[in-house]
Amino acid sequence: MSGLIDARMAELGITLPEAHPPLAAKIQPWARWGELLFISGAVPKLDGKPQFIGKVGREFGLAEGQAAARLSALNMLAHAKTALGGDLDAIKRILKINGFVNATPDFTEIPQVVNGASELFIDLFGEAGQHARTAVGVAVMPFDVAIEVEGIFVVDPAA
Amino acid sequence: MSGLIDARMAELGITLPEAHPPLAAKIQPWARWGELLFISGAVPKLDGKPQFIGKVGREFGLAEGQAAARLSALNMLAHAKTALGGDLDAIKRILKINGFVNATPDFTEIPQVVNGASELFIDLFGEAGQHARTAVGVAVMPFDVAIEVEGIFVVDPAA
Amino acid sequence: MSGLIDARMAELGITLPEAHPPLAAKIQPWARWGELLFISGAVPKLDGKPQFIGKVGREFGLAEGQAAARLSALNMLAHAKTALGGDLDAIKRILKINGFVNATPDFTEIPQVVNGASELFIDLFGEAGQHARTAVGVAVMPFDVAIEVEGIFVVDPAA
């Protein structure tokens, strides 16, 4: 299926990663309830393998942290696409995202890192990609990846 | 009142802890809005007393972390039971849970720890227990307990 | 516009800070969906400038942490007021808040700190201010502020 968001991704040269189930976790990558689609915390994975292993402020600088955030957001979209039977146009709103950054104690540019995810959503969805957000730095991360991002999307309940 | 979930708990040899109000916190253990039941962050308590005081990766290993996650989940259900007038069958869906693990910087098996909570919900509720989830490691925890788990359940609004 | 909550604030000697956009973040301070108003993680700001820079347990004690939590909550209300066209009475329920405290590893009075926000909501909104809550301690915070609080409010969809 090819829709408006697929076309926008092609225009921006964006390729979605494959949707892989969560690593070592007995959970679903998403859960739907009516118009709400909850996306489980997504780490930056390519071909199902975690990327950006390490802390922002030590192994990674700001630009790499932003790239990790963007890749997490792409994994969120990959899961949303599966949840919606392939139709990304069924996403009506990126409502809320939470970014948890694996950062050193002295690295406080947490919002700037999570902007890597927020900007992707705004680039792709325009006004509907505008969202509320919380961003914090955490001490330990699954698989020691640099970031984890979760979200709540509003979707067409018929999709 | 005895329902299907009560029977399933008896079959699995599970006893709910007593529902105690949050410690030192001027909040409610839950809040309802329509079909949504928000469960406040629950720590592993027995008889109202926090258990598993310490960090996973130092005081506790993976198996104990999982036991702490499971006990937190049981406390979530104890609060849900109170919220629903004793009727756990009014829970239609375990929609979302978030696990915050008090872990040492080198302990990265965070998802495996939180599986202790997820597996309990799936064992008890089957398909309706399948949920979206986020799990992160945090630096400091109320009362220094090993884990805190919060959740959003879909419930029968008439219960 | 002056309503019941405005009057209650005047009675309690409370002045809302000005609503300033999030610092360094390409996001919205809130997002609405039907009756739900999601408030982005708010830090303690005055005149748009972050206050309480540092960790609870090192730069700040419990009382200052509580003051920081309260100021974050006031910023949440300032954003809600803007979202609701100035009408704070359109807030029907403080449903859920999450408090992330920038604390030293030995400072475990996390719930007591976040009470600074919870008490403000209960003082202002009474029973409608009672909420579910999760409070954790985190390692790193945007701008190194002492606390960040986010929330979900139920609002009059016509406001």
**Segment B97-124, tens digit of pLDDT:** 999 999 998 999 999 999 999 999 999 9
Q: What is the pLDDT of residues A56-78, one digit of tens each?
A: 999 999 999 999 999 999 999 99
Q: Which residues of chain A have pLDDT under 50?
A: none
How many whole angstroms separate alpha carbon C65 and alpha carbon C95? 23
Is B140 within 8 Å of C101 when comparing Cβ atoms?
yes
For residue C22, tell me if it sits in a domain.
Answer: no
Is A41 within 8 Å of B134 when comparing Cβ atoms?
yes
Q: What is the pTM of this model?
A: 0.96
Q: Which residue from B minimizes the CA distance to C103?
A: B140
For residue C61, tell me if it sits in a domain.
Answer: yes
CB atoms within 10 A of CB A49: 12
> What one-letter code names the amino acid at A30?
W
Q: What is the pLDDT of residues B60-103, one digit of tens each?
A: 999 999 999 999 999 999 999 999 999 999 999 999 999 999 99
For residue C53, tell me if it sits in a domain.
Answer: yes
For residue C25, tell me if it sits in a domain.
Answer: no
Q: Which residue from B minimizes the CA distance to A138?
A: B138
User: Do B40 and B29 touch, CB atoms closer than 8 A?
Assistant: yes
- Residue whose pair of structure tokens reads 């805190």 in the numeric block: B148
- Helices and strands per DSSP (H, E), number in chain B: 3, 7
Chain A positions in Cβ-Cβ contact with residue B69 (cut-off 8 Å): none
Q: Domain range spanning residue C131? A: 4-14+30-155
Closest partner CB to C33 (pick from A95, A105, A108): A95
Is C135 within 8 Å of B143 when comparing Cβ atoms?
no
Q: Which residue from A minimizes the CA distance to B55?
A: A140
Please list, in sequence order, all residues whose beta carbon lies within 8 angstroms of the beta carbon of residue C10, skipping any fewer than 6 positions away.
Answer: none
Q: Which of B20, B74, B41, B16 is nearest to B145 (CA)?
A: B41
Here the ipTM equals: 0.94
Helix/strand/coil (H/E/C) assignment for every residue in C19-79: CCCCCCCCCCCEEEECCEEEEEEECCEECCEECCECCECCCECHHHHHHHHHHHHHHHHHH
Residue B20 confidence class, pLDDT cut points 50, 70, 90: confident
CATH assignment of the domain containing A126? 3.30.1330.40
Q: Between C110-125 and C62-83, two packed helices, what is the crossing angle to 10 degrees?
A: 40
User: Do C9 and C117 touch, CB atoms closer than 8 A?
Assistant: no
Chain A positions in Cβ-Cβ contact with residue C139 (cut-off 8 Å): 103, 105, 137-139
Q: Mean pLDDT, to the nearest integer, of C21-44? A: 91
Specify the number of domains making up chain B. 1
